[in-house]
């Protein structure tokens, strides 16, 4: 095989379902020249390494060995982030783009860009230059917005949208075969006053979700951000139409919007991903969303318990409703769940032959915050020989709850190393 194949040997955490992930302490994973995963072997002991490589016509030269404590994780998917503030100050911010979004481990992001075509194009160029996988949405607004931030007419809005679409589709990296069709990103039921006002504007639609539905906007590939105050009928409608929900707990806490009942959505079979909602949220890190989604689910759990202790009824019928979201579920939402909102779950979100290698190398050897081990810099062991699945589970939990971007050593998108803590010193 050509030298352009890269083979990783070490621990791999691989999300599978809402309730399970694979954890292989000694995995061999080969990435081909296209950036897709060519093959994977779940458990290869060191003494079988050479013979396994030989079986695939490979040798040690292509090998990248992870150290003890390090592991590969699929890159995070941010299903709702607002880049208005970035797009309006494009050039000074470009250098920060990598620090802010890529080094935090986000390999795919759905950007809510700006009203302006040129700024949206600039954002698409930036995402492309830095090698991130991104969806850029031009905003369309002609109602209840400041006069300097509105489009002259619906016709203008449509032609501007066509302009940005054809621009993005003409970019060299745009792959028609990977085009999942147009995604739609919008907000729904973030807070009670917004819900009341929206329903007042479109009384004939019957509900907030009904408004989108009557315009054909509620469908697969529609990403609905927030969804904190949906009625049971709206939840059913969203489920029937196959639209997905972007859970943005940091923003929802920060703006005191409320807590989206994610467990209820999951019980219904609605697709759910995580979103940072910068700048409603205050961090660009999906790790923060994982932590806050966990907190949010705990609040719903004890609130249901408290209510149950007074009225004797704890509403907890399904597998997830009003229960703490366990680690496999949180991991799924941040990876495969987000990928499914973007209709990319066959390409990204987990590791499998044929899928894109969008990955993070997580490492404890960066400057660490106190709760991760002793708080001192610890050199990892060279060998992964004695590592067990339970060790890997522990590393994952520490990373999700005590880690930050200092623990993201490398970030890959489509097999290309594009960021991470050690990117500056790459060879
Ligand atoms: Zn938002």
The one-character DSSP state at 258 is: -
Task: Give the distance (Å) from ligand 1 centre to CA of residue 280.
Answer: 7
Q: Which of 95-109, 164-178, 248-262 has the highest mean pLDDT?
A: 248-262
**pLDDT score at 176:** 52
Separation of CA 249 and ligand 1 centre (Å)? 11
More confident residue, 141 or 185: 185
Mean pLDDT of the chain: 88
253 Cα–ligand 1 center, Å = 13
Q: What is the pLDDT of residues 268-292, one digit of tens each?
A: 999 999 999 987 778 889 999 999 9
Ligand 1 mean position, distance from CA 34 (Å): 34
The pLDDT of residue 41: 96
Domain 6-73+350-419 part of CATH 2.30.40.10: yes
- Return the pLDDT at 285: 93
The rounded distance, in Å, linking the Cα atoms of 27 and 50 is 13
Give me ligand 1 centre to Cα 181, in Å: 22
* Residue extent(s) of CATH 3.20.20.140 domains in the chain: 76-341
Share of the chain above pLDDT 90, in %: 65
CA of 278 to the centre of ligand 1 (A): 7
Q: What are phi and psi of 393, to 5 degrees?
A: -60, -40
Question: What 3-state class would DSSP assign to 141?
Answer: coil
pLDDT over 50 (residue 415): yes
Distance of CA 258 from the midpoint of ligand 1 (Å):
14
In DSSP terms, 20 is beta-bridged to 17
pLDDT at 266: 98
**pLDDT higher than threshold 80 for residue 119:** yes
Average pLDDT over every residue of 321-333: 97
The predicted structure's pLDDT at residue 370: 45
Tell me which of 4-18, 88-102, 214-228 is least confident: 88-102
User: How many Å lie between the centroid of ligand 1 and the Cα of residue 392?
Assistant: 34
- What gap in Å lies between CA 174 and CA 172, rounded to an integer? 6
Confidence at 369, pLDDT banded by 50, 70, 90: very low
- Quote the CA–CA distance of 414 and 288 in Å, as a whole number: 24
Average pLDDT over residues 237-260: 97
User: What spacing in Å lies between the alpha carbon of 202 and ligand 1's midpoint?
Assistant: 21
pLDDT at 384: 65
The first and second tokens of residue 97, run together, are: 């783009």
82 CA to centre of ligand 1 in angstroms? 7
Residue 118 above 70 pLDDT? Answer: yes
Domain(s) of CATH 2.30.40.10: residues in the chain: 6-73+350-419
For residue 404, give every residue at least 6 positions away whose Cβ sits within 8 Å of its Cβ, in sequence order, or none.
Answer: 285, 287, 369
**Tokens standing for residue 187:** 């907000």
Q: Looking up tokens 């982030």, which residue turns up?
A: 81
Cα of 338 vs centre of ligand 1, distance in Å, is: 16
Dist CA 172 CA 414 (whole Å): 15
Tell me what percent of the chain is helix, strand and coil, each rounded to the nearest 5: 40, 20, 40
CA of residue 38 to ligand 1 center, whole Å: 37
Pair type for strands 20-31 and 6-17: antiparallel
Report the separation in Å between the CA atom of 108 and the middle of ligand 1, taken as the mean of its atom positions.
17
Quote the ligand 1 centre to 292 CA distance (angstroms): 16
Report the distance separating Cα 375 and Cα 409, nearest Å: 17
Q: How far is the CA of 190 from the centre of ligand 1 (A)?
A: 8
Can you tell me the mean pLDDT for 358-379? 65
Report how far ligand 1's centroid is from the alpha carbon of 4 (Å): 40
pLDDT of residue 375: 45
Cα 83 to ligand 1 centre (Å): 10
**153 vs 27: which has the higher pLDDT:** 27
The whole-number pLDDT of residue 368 equals: 52
Distance CA 125, CA 197 (A): 37
- In this structure, CATH architecture of domain 76-341: Alpha-Beta Barrel (3.20)
Which residues line ion ligand 1, judged by CB < 5 Å? 225, 277
More confident residue, 222 or 87: 222
CA of 248 to the centre of ligand 1 (A): 8
Q: In terms of Cα–Cα distance, which of 10, 9, 5, 2 is closest to 38?
A: 5
The strand pair at 63-65 and 133-137 is best described as unpaired
Bigger pLDDT: 301 vs 365: 301
The number of C-alpha atoms within 13 Å of 244 and in the hemisphere containing its C-beta is 29
Who wins on pLDDT, 3 or 256? 256
Q: How far is the CA of 85 from the centre of ligand 1 (A)?
A: 13
Task: Give me ligand 1 centre to Cα 333, in Å.
Answer: 18
**Measured in angstroms, how far is the CA atom of residue 401 from the centroid of ligand 1?**
24
- Percent pLDDT > 70 in the chain is 90
Distance 418 CA to ligand 1 centre (A): 27
CA of 66 to the centre of ligand 1 (A): 38
What is the distance in A from the centroid of ligand 1 to the CA of 13? 30
Contact 282, 250 (CB under 8 A): yes
């Amino acid at each position: 095989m050509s030298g352009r194949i890269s083979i990783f040997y070490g621990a791999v955490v691989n999300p599978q379902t809402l309730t399970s992930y694979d954890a292989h302490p000694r995995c061999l994973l080969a990435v081909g020249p296209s950036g897709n995963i060519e093959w994977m072997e779940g458990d290869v002991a060191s003494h079988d390494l050479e013979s396994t490589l030989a079986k695939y016509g490979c040798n040690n030269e292509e090998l990248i060995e992870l150290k003890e404590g390090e592991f590969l994780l699929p890159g995070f998917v941010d299903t709702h982030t607002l880049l208005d503030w970035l797009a309006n100050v494009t050039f000074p911010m470009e250098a920060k783009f990598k620090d802010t979004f890529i080094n935090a481990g986000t390999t795919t992001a759905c950007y809510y860009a700006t009203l302006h075509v040129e700024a949206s194009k600039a954002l698409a160029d930036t995402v492309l230059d830095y090698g991130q996988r991104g969806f850029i949405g031009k905003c369309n607004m002609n109602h209840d917005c400041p006069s300097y931030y509105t489009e002259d007419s619906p016709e203008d809005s449509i032609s501007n949208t066509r302009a940005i679409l054809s621009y993005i589709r003409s970019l060299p990296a745009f792959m028609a075969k990977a085009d999942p069709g147009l995604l739609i990103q919008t907000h729904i039921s973030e807070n009670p006053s917004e819900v009341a006002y929206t329903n007042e504007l479109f009384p004939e639609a019957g509900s907030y979700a009904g408004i989108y539905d009557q315009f054909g906007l509620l469908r697969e590939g529609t990403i609905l951000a927030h969804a904190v105050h949906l009625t049971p009928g709206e939840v059913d409608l969203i489920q029937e139409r196959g639209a997905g929900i972007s859970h943005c707990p940091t923003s929802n806490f920060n703006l005191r919007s409320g807590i989206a009942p994610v467990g209820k959505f999951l019980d219904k079979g609605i697709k759910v991903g995580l979103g940072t909602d910068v700048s409603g949220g205050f961090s660009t890190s999906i790790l923060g969303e994982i932590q806050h989604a966990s907190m949010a689910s705990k609040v719903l759990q004890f609130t249901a318990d408290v209510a149950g202790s007074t009225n004797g009824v704890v509403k907890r019928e399904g597998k997830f409703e009003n229960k703490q979201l366990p680690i496999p579920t949180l991991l799924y939402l941040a990876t495969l769940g987000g990928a499914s909102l973007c209709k990319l779950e066959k390409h990204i979100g987990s590791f499998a032959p044929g899928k894109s290698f969008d990955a993070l190398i997580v490492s404890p050897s960066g400057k660490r915050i106190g709760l991760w081990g002793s708080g001192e810099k610890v050199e990892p062991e060279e060998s992964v020989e004695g590592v067990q699945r339970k060790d890997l589970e522990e590393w994952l939990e520490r990373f999700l709850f005590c880690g930050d971007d200092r623990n993201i050593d490398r970030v890959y998108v489509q097999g290309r190393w594009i960021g991470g803590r050690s990117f500056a010193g790459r060879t």
